[in-house]
Amino acid sequence: MRIETSFLFDLDGTLVDSVYQHVLAWKEALDSEGIDLSVWRIHRKIGMSGGLFVNQLLRETHDQFNEDRVERLRVAHTAAYQRLRSDVKPLPGAISLLDALTRANIRWAIATSGRMETAKFNLEALGVDPQTAVVVTRDQVKHAKPDPDLFLAAADRLGVPIEHTVVVGDSVWDMLAARRCRALGVGLLSGGYGTDELEKAGALRVYEDPADLLSHLDEVAARP
Ligand SMILES: [Mg+2]
């Protein structure tokens, strides 16, 4: 029996070069609420769910967060990201990688902790139409990464067993989520995390960016 491999991709830092724009957008949102947090601390949290992000903020800033304040932060982040989005480009090889998978009849989906209000700009830059491709955003699941819900929902929409999927992501949150749903984790360095951290979080292979993954595709997927 031939077991087909399908791919579940994270979006920010994995297919599009948007991590730093998100970090700066969060920085601006936090500043507007008078919350002082260094840029590197924000970077470490990109890719996890907004709820956990706020919990970690609470822990690190000893600040008070009620629902209104969380909502104001989300709105301010979205507004700032909209201004920065023109700088967001696909990562090298991202478009070719998705094309190559499509041509080889290998199924793929995108699963992001972001909401559609920001993800839509990145999808546009990638040339991915969420009406025709399988795209799962934070809006569609109860818990985002490092919970596995986004990847489980994406596999479900593709109609493939999660055990036969490769989760490709740039952050430890992707790798932890992959581990928790028994998918194979493949890490990319294009979001700023290092090889050691990705491997410790469960990545079986680590590549530089989508172009590097494309040229080593035979290491992680059965030949079409
Ligand atoms: Mg990411």
* Cα(12) to centroid(ligand 1), Å: 4
Q: What mean pLDDT do residues 101-110 have?
A: 95
Residue 59 shares a structural domain with residue 159? no
The pLDDT value recorded for residue 54 is 75
Q: Answer with the one of 30, 54, 86 that is the final residue of a domain.
A: 86
Burial (CB < 10 A; 0-12, 13-18, 19+), residue 189, is middle
Domain check: are 74 and 105 in the same one? no
Tell which of 56, 86, 116 closes a domain: 86
121 Cα to the center of ligand 1, angstroms = 15
The whole-number average pLDDT for the span 48-53 is: 73
> Cα of 1 to ligand 1 centre, how many Å?
34
Q: Which amino acid is at 72?
A: R
Q: For residue 82, what are the domain limits?
A: 19-86
188 Cα–ligand 1 center, Å = 9
What CATH number has the domain bearing residue 113? 3.40.50.1000
Tokens 């947090």 label which residue? 37
Domain annotation covers residue 48 = yes
Burial class (CB in 10 A: 0-12, 13-18, 19+), 68: exposed
Tell me: do 54 and 120 sit in the same domain: no
Q: What is the mean pLDDT of residues 196-217?
A: 97
Distance from Cα 59 to the centre of ligand 1, integer Å: 22
Q: Are residues 120 and 201 in the same domain?
A: yes
Instruction: Please tell me the distance between residue 19's alpha carbon and the centre of ligand 1 in angstroms.
Output: 7
How far does residue 147's CA lie from ligand 1's centre (Å)?
14
Quick one: pLDDT at residue 9? 98
Residue that is written with structure tokens 């793929």 in the block: 108
Same domain, 140 and 37: no
Out of 68, 86, 104, a domain closes at 86
Q: What is the mean pLDDT of residues 156-174?
A: 96
CA of 104 to the centre of ligand 1 (A): 25
- Same domain? 81 vs 189: no
Both 92 and 69 in one domain: the answer is: no
**Residue 103 reports pLDDT greater than 60:** yes
Contact residues for 29 (Cβ-Cβ < 8 A; gap 6+): 73, 74, 76, 77, 80
CA of 194 to the centre of ligand 1 (A): 13
Distance 115 CA to ligand 1 centre (A): 13
Tell whether 1 is covered by a domain: no
Please report whether residue 106 resides in a domain: yes
Q: How far is ligand 1, taken at its centre, from the CA of residue 3, in Å? A: 27
CA of 16 to the centre of ligand 1 (A): 9
pLDDT in the model for residue 2: 60
Kindly report the pTM of this predicted structure. 0.91
Q: Report the C-alpha gap between 96 and 60 in whole angstroms.
A: 40
- In the chain, the number of structural domains is 2
Give the residue carrying structure tokens 């998918």: 183
Region 9-30: mean pLDDT is 93
**Pair 118, 185 in one domain:** yes
| 111 lies in the same domain as 207 | yes
- 2 CA distance to ligand 1 middle (Å): 31
Do 81 and 174 sit in the same domain of this protein? no
